[in-house]
């Protein structure tokens, strides 16, 4: 497996090696030892999640506050998405910046989104199945979000606004720079992977 640091170095693209022939393919989608060797510390994933969506569904931008913050390892099983990770660590040199990576069943790329980042994705084709591992359980009381269309984030979602399908919750999220409560955002300099 190859690991590539993005323009925000804490967000990592994971590219598995695909072994294919006339019968199909085989791929290791996760190796804790390889990932931990690259990172230099352990990650303890405890929950797997999966969703199936039609084209235009946008989920995000979501995160959980400490002590239930989550690192996510996300991938697409079928179809394709544009996956987004936004740095929400106050005082980070990349605060408010984002990484955008197309994940698909064809390219088999995965994205490691550490704690301290809001995460979301938009579905680019029908019948897309999205799966991810997290290192902390879902906590409704710590569940938070940021507006997907926050102009300060300057995210190009690749689809027209009229094509997007959102939950009611995701149409009412606050803008990142409007969050003033220090307890509602992450502080830079804390290791949020573990």
Query: Catalytic positions, please?
Result: 62, 132
Give 116: exposed, middle or buried? Use CB within 10 Å, 0-12, 13-18, 19+. Answer: buried
State residue 116 phi and psi, 5-degree precision.
95, 10
Residue 148 contacts residue 60 (beta carbons within 8 Å):
yes
Instruction: Give the span between the Cα atoms of 2 and 182, in whole angstroms.
Output: 36
User: How many CB atoms are closer than 10 A to CB 77?
Assistant: 14
Q: Would you tell me how many other CB atoms lie within 10 Å of the CB of residue 8?
A: 19
């Amino acid at each position: 497996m190859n690991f590539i640091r993005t323009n925000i170095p804490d967000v990592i693209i994971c590219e598995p090696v695909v072994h294919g022939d006339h019968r199909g393919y085989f791929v290791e989608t996760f190796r804790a030892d390889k990932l931990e060797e690259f990172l230099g510390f352990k990650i303890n994933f405890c929950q797997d999640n999966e969703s199936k969506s039609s084209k235009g569904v946008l989920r995000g931008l979501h995160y959980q506050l400490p002590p239930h913050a989550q690192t996510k390892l996300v991938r697409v099983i079928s179809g394709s998405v544009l996956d987004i990770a936004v740095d929400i660590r106050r005082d980070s040199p990349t605060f408010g910046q984002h990484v955008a990576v197309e994940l698909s069943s064809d390219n088999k790329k995965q994205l490691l989104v550490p704690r301290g980042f809001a995460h979301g994705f938009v579905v680019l084709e029908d019948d897309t199945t999205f799966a991810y591992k997290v290192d902390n359980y879902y906590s409704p009381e710590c569940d938070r979000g940021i507006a997907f269309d926050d102009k300060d984030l300057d995210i190009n979602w690749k689809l027209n606004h009229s094509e997007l399908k959102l939950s009611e919750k995701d149409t009412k999220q606050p803008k990142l720079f409007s969050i003033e409560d220090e307890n509602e955002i992450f502080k830079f300099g804390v290791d949020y992977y573990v």
